[in-house]
Structure 1
């Protein structure tokens, strides 16, 4: 089974531990990015995973490519050119102090890409699934058009198309997001949203929830899922549900609507090591489970468990196996040492 994801691979720079930006004179560097995170997770689950982006030909660009290759992600469709790798700076929050991300993505290679950089007919040959997120078209330039072309080509090739709405207010406005995502969602089979994305992008809001204060009415998101499915004809809608107690402690669960029934996953009480990539690991878990014929109940449990485990792993990439996810999904939640 061949899965393709498309997006921006970023250099992640952050202070060690819980130091603030203004305290440090050095930062650690890794790579990550929404769709790349999905590609790595799928490769770790044993899926034939391909990642598409554009990166410069210099050593930092090659380091970014190598960061994917080490986990078995196929990189032969990556276009090379341009002058810079996008960067994001991450400061980890603690207790009541939130984490903070600062983007430095302007004029990156992919932000300045053109449609001719990507041969979608070749890329989607024998492809089973294509995944992207709302972050990529939000980078502007030609990317809204390129993302729409990619979705159209994937559908023509017979692939399932999924999208994580993944709204980022630092990249575009709600009005810009709605105009672009409405066009892209015409091609989408499986839509993933968090507790805020449907509201921010399409104005579809859950009653009885106050996300900013950590109050999530899980039942109210059934209506959100139905409205999304009715608006675009999605075959499946998943909503991830995060109750934030503080920066270190969250409660995590998800809802899956398959067009007829609703399935709510177990809720996990998490102590967070690194929350970045949590939604991406959910998407990867959902793709993996649906490709492998899991029923809706088991699919949402596997995806939620995959995401729960990601919160215990440093960096953007989810360094867990399908066996580890299955153990958690089956109820092994104690975290006892394995000998």
Structure 2
């Protein structure tokens, strides 16, 4: 019986080896990932019972995606089979001043053709405590948005905590469409997760005295963003990741949490990036684990940020770390010394 249920798309990621550009590549490495799938893997690594809900094609590629989730202990009973194809995205890793690039090939994917009838949410949520989704999922189509809304309504009626990572993707929909659709979900959301840009792109709430491309982030500006979000939608908690991009290779990584009327800011980590894809998802997974485990607000935030810091050092979409590894970093051991 799952404690946490996540709903979204799993895709195949194809990437040139190392730091090659797309035009240089004569082969691509294949891994699997996706916002909610990445959160599920994190939670399973931390020892929670986590179920992933999606739809994949009834072919060997769809089965490979199911096997990927099983490999990490995720409950795959509710990964439905059907539709045309598995979505793909191509990822070119950036370095120094050259940014990473992502090219999507996900039209007509199985999950984009799903509808409400594919998912029995009453059965799926039986015994669960938490439901998580991202803004990517309803962006896949009005039919998927309807299925997501049905999930939110059912989860709320059954007493689950509902979290949403806003995760705005300009390649999937406009800010206007995102704001209109996501507004309909917010009455059912308890915990909202966002990055530096999401609140502005989706809800028009901008942090003052902040220049994202210049690497300038204002704590006071994000206090205002979090409070405005909480006041507008009656969230119990708002978490915002704070990324200072020095270059594609080096970032400063931190976050804030607004909960019970109090503002909490984490330690800031200088990160030399191996792979930043899934960084926000690893933060979400860490936060859900810590809050479900009863951590005080500051400790929950520090756990989530440390977990996500470690993810930036790991190839692929998933965060392959344990609770003890995260706690070691939380305690101040970021030396990277060999563990024997």
Give the alignment's TM-score, normalised by structure 1: 0.99
Q: Is the 8 A contact 1:124 1:154 kept in 2?
A: yes
**What are the superposed Cα offsets for residues 98-120 of structure 1, whole Å, 9 maximum, x if unpaired?**
00001111100000111110000
Q: RMSD in angstroms over aligned alpha carbons?
A: 0.7
**What are the superposed Cα offsets for residues 165-198 of structure 1, whole Å, 9 maximum, x if unpaired?**
0000000000000011100111000000101100
- Structure 1 position 283, deviation (Å): 0.4
CA distance in structure 1 between the aligned counterparts of 2:159 and 2:258, rounded to whole angstroms: 23
The match for 2:268 is 267
CA distance in structure 1 between the aligned counterparts of 2:99 and 2:224, rounded to whole angstroms: 30
CA distance in structure 2 between the aligned counterparts of 1:320 and 1:60, rounded to whole angstroms: 26
Query: Is it true that 1:91 corresponds to 2:71 in the alignment?
Result: no
CA distance in structure 1 between the aligned counterparts of 2:257 and 2:247, rounded to whole angstroms: 26
| Correspondences of 1:64-143 after superposition (within 5 Å) | 64-143=65-144
Segments of 5+ residues of structure 2 without an aligned counterpart are none
CA distance in structure 1 between the aligned counterparts of 2:50 and 2:285, rounded to whole angstroms: 11
CA distance in structure 1 between the aligned counterparts of 2:115 and 2:165, rounded to whole angstroms: 23
Secondary structure in 2 matching 1:11: strand
| Correspondences of 1:126-275 after superposition (within 5 Å) | 126-275=127-276
The match for 1:49 is 50
- Structure 1 position 217, deviation (Å): 1.4
| Residue-pair matches, total | 339
**What are the superposed Cα offsets for residues 47-92 of structure 1, whole Å, 9 maximum, x if unpaired?**
0010000001100000000000000000001111012000000000
Which ranges of 4 or more aligned residues in structure 1 deviate by more than 4 Å? none
Secondary structure in 1 matching 2:148: helix
- Structure 1 position 219, deviation (Å): 2.8
- Structure 1 position 259, deviation (Å): 3.0
Segments of 5+ residues of structure 1 without an aligned counterpart are none
Q: Is the 8 A contact 1:198 1:204 kept in 2?
A: yes
The match for 1:305 is 306
Secondary structure in 1 matching 2:112: coil
Secondary structure in 2 matching 1:254: strand
